[in-house]
Amino acid sequence: MARTASVEQRSIDFIPDAERYGSPRSLLFVWFAANTSITAVVTGALFVILGNSAVWSVPAIIIGNAVGGFVTALHSAQGPRLGVPQMIQSRAQFGYYGAILPLVLALMIYIGFYATGLVLGGQAIGTLFGVPHQAGSVIFAVFSTVLAIVGYRYIHRFSHLAASLSFVVFVWLLIRILLDGHTGQVAAEPAFDGAAFVLGISLSASWQLTFGPYIADYSRYLPAGTPKRATIGWTFAGSVLGGSLAMTLGALAAALGGAAFGHDQVGYIAGLGGALWPIVLLAVILGKLTGNTLSSYGGYMSVATIVTSLAGHSKVGPRARSIYVTAISVISLAIALAATDNFLTAFTNFLLFLLYFMTPWSAVNLVDYYLVRKERYSIGALFDRNGEYGRFNVGAFVAYAVGVLIQIPFMNSSLYVGPVAQLFGGAEIAWIIGIVVAGGLYWLFSGRIRRTVALDRDLDTPFTATDTTPLAQQPAAADRAGVHTITTKENS
């Protein structure tokens, strides 16, 4: 039976079966709300700013969201199966202490998206209530902090409201744009730029892939027997539909609005609503508040995991949780208040930077989960510094490092354009190379693990996910098998 406390009591620890609840359909609302934000609208606008026509931006947006969203949705299935936060599970690949590296990377993602969200959310609140945008950012940070502190249950409940309003408002705005008298002029210029088209796919895929480090955090309370296809399917639907809708709106708005949109994205979108502009701003605020809350919530769990790794603990109390969430909010707010100028350029660089470093981690994590360990993990060992996953996994680090470095010749960013990207006219395919190389190398390096898992499957080790006893205290049969397993049956 689920807890009824108003503030979530669990942190990075395992969620027992007695506290599991909910339906995977809720993931549709969470990820639709997180994707139909003003930040996604700005990302869609980048397609046009970087050289795509509005017409060719739409298929690039859909393709990128679908590819990136599918990879990210695969992570979501880990939540019900394992019952632990996404980045805790990285200890199985990188080691108990080795997982600190991807945790630091994930923390950078959370803070970066939180800060950019505060800029745009602050603009929306400032416009709606007639206060300075900086004051709006402060108000927005307070709301995000409170929602992250109360936690998982209320984040899901809030997302239902945000997703419903965002759907109605964004579809309505899209219809108004399509009925605008100047839309035909934009559609009549379908110039195709291959490099800009591929770069657009990479941008939208990047948007989806950056949810990977925390997407399982919002499915980990679901019952362990939740069908895998349902978890993946509802997550994929919410992410791809939401992201595609918001980015398409942004691309069309940028094509029609030009400099007016670039100067004030929030104000321009609100203006499209005509007399109902306050409703549009409210949708912008609620959608962005969902995304910022996820960043604050995920950031706190990253910090908590790093701290507990170094201290040798496995839990964080509600008081410490509030401190961590507040600290994440304060740091993100400081960045937001100092980085409001040239926002579009900075955000482009930020997305591309994240893409280069996130895809190899995602590849290693998914290959380990689906192909190497085949969803069989020792939950107790994830919290044991002396457990079977070790303190550092050299093979995972080599695969990850090579996956990052191999992308350099293919990079296309304002900071560096690789020789292959130049040869392809600026087309961006580095993230594809990173996924294939990092995942392939990790699979090659994991032969011993694969043999051990095969032996364990033959022995059909009977332990379940509810056993979180450190391996040193487990029966000898588990030691002989080499891998402590999760044997939950799926109704797929």
Report the C-alpha gap between 366 and 359 in whole angstroms.
11
331-342: average pLDDT: 80
CA distances from 299 to 59, 96, 295, 337, 435 (A): 33, 19, 6, 19, 24
pLDDT digits (tens, 9 = 90+) for 380-392: 999 988 888 999 9
156 has pLDDT over 90: yes
352 has pLDDT over 70: no
467 has pLDDT over 90: no
- Residue 410, domain member (yes or no): no
Q: Do 133 and 340 meet the contact criterion of CB atoms below 8 Å apart?
A: yes
- Residue 268, domain member (yes or no): yes
In this prediction the pTM is 0.87
265 has pLDDT over 90: no
The predicted structure's pLDDT at residue 321: 86
Q: Which domain holds residue 128?
A: 17-359
- Residue 418, domain member (yes or no): no
Bridge partner list, 412: 417
Question: What CATH number did the domain enclosing 130 receive?
Answer: 1.10.4160.10
Angle at 17 between CA 14 and CA 23, to 5 degrees: 100
Place 439 in a pLDDT band, splitting at 50, 70 and 90: very high
Pick the range with the lowest mean pLDDT from 71-85, 117-131, 253-267, 279-293: 253-267
- Residue 435, domain member (yes or no): no
Average pLDDT along the chain:
84
The predicted structure's pLDDT at residue 475: 34
- Residue 108, domain member (yes or no): yes
The predicted structure's pLDDT at residue 125: 93
Bridge partner list, 417: 412
The predicted structure's pLDDT at residue 213: 87
Exposed / middle / buried, residue 97 (Cβ in 10 Å: 0-12, 13-18, 19+): middle
**Residue entry with tokens 């997302």:** 159
Radius of gyration of the chain (CA): 22
- Residue 5, domain member (yes or no): no
116 has pLDDT over 70: yes
Cα-flanking dihedrals φ and ψ of residue 239, to 5°?
Answer: -65, -50
Report the C-alpha gap between 249 and 244 in whole angstroms.
8
165 has pLDDT over 80: yes
Cα-flanking dihedrals φ and ψ of residue 192, to 5°?
Answer: -105, 125
Report the C-alpha gap between 291 and 40 in whole angstroms.
10
Report the C-alpha gap between 458 and 368 in whole angstroms.
19
The residue that leads in pLDDT, 105 or 352, is 105
- Residue 113, domain member (yes or no): yes
Q: Which two tokens stand for residue 152?
A: 């998982």
468 has pLDDT over 80: no
112 has pLDDT over 80: yes
Bridge partner list, 57: none
Total domains present in the chain: 1
Terminal-to-terminal C-alpha distance of the chain: 23
- Residue 420, domain member (yes or no): no
CA distances from 148 to 104, 227, 290 (A): 20, 27, 10
